[in-house]
Amino acid sequence: MFSWIPWECLAGDDGVEPEPYDEKAVIWTLATMMWSMFHKGSIPLENENSYEIRNREYRKNFTFDIIDDLLPDGILELLKSCWMDRSKRPTTRDVLRAIKKLEKNV
């Protein structure tokens, strides 16, 4: 379960309160689900141990393995935008627009 939650929503050892699981967090989770779909059902962080998966600092610096050949054109840019710092993530409306635009190009 923790694999699908953005790092900033996890409790840390640093005393910093976790961010709420809100629209910005859902956008991160959506991108992670899309990554999983295009990577043959891979589970995020499946090779990490439970401590690493729940560790805020470890997750903050984690990057997903991307296999470009598995992604349709334009999807990587969308995923990266959804994984940015929460203040820079697109809104759900922005993501929907991007997906519709990509759909027209297929």
DSSP the chain: -GGGS-GGGS--TTSPPPPP-SHHHHHHHHHHHHHHHHTTTPPTTTTS-HHHHH-HHHHHT------GGGSPTTHHHHHHHHTS-GGGSPPHHHHHHHHHHHHHT-
- pTM of the predicted structure, to 2 decimals: 0.90
Compute the average pLDDT of residues 61-66.
89
- Which domain range does residue 28 map to? 2-104
Q: Which residues contact 100 (CB under 8 A, 6 or more apart)?
A: none
pLDDT band, residue 106 (cuts 50/70/90): low
User: For the domain that residue 30 is a member of, what is the CATH number?
Assistant: 1.10.510.10
Please say if the pLDDT value at position 14 is more than 90.
Answer: no
Total count of domains within the chain:
1
